[in-house]
């Protein structure tokens, strides 16, 4: 039986279709999470699940509800928003995150967010000298 066949789907009642849609949505979200993990560099990451959305993410850590050095989807920093998969948009839209960068003067904390401020990439919200400064900025902006 091919569940993607219109004849098969047409035989299901509304409740069965709603259940199938919810399960498919959950499955695609889990697939997206694994795509992000496989796309990340070989570095130790932990799994974090956010209570409000139920979404799971992989990152080095979470502070103040913000992902630090998360596993990101392929081409995340250079993909037109209109071509992003709906699962990616649902998971990442308006979810700020922090990436650390080592520079000669120490560590910089780069805050970005897929907020629609740029059509082809997450918006750069700023670079901070401390993680606390970055987290304060995020809490004031969100």
Q: How confident is the model at residue 22 (pLDDT cuts 50, 70, 90)?
A: confident
Q: Which residue intervals of 12-130 are DSSP H helices? A: 14-39, 86-92
- Between residues 4 and 20, which one has the greater pLDDT? 20
Asked if residue 62 has pLDDT above 90, the reply is yes
pTM of the model: 0.78
Radius of gyration for the chain, computed over Cα atoms and rounded to the nearest angstrom: 18
pLDDT of residue 141: 92
Assign 105 to helix, strand or coil.
Answer: coil
């Amino acid at each position: 039986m091919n569940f993607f066949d219109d004849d098969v789907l047409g035989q299901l009642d509304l409740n069965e279709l709603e259940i199938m849609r919810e399960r498919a949505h959950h499955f695609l979200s889990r697939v997206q999470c694994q795509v992000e993990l496989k796309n990340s560099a070989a570095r130790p990451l932990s799994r974090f699940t956010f209570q409000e959305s139920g979404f799971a993410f992989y990152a080095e850590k979470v502070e103040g509800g913000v992902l630090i050095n998360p596993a990101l989807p392929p081409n995340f920093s250079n993909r037109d928003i209109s071509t992003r998969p709906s699962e990616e948009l649902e998971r990442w839209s308006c979810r700020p995150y922090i990436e650390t960068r080592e520079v000669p003067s120490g560590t910089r904390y780069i805050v970005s967010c897929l907020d629609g401020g740029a059509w082809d990439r997450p918006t750069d919200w700023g670079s901070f000298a401390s993680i606390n400064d970055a987290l304060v900025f995020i809490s004031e902006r969100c």
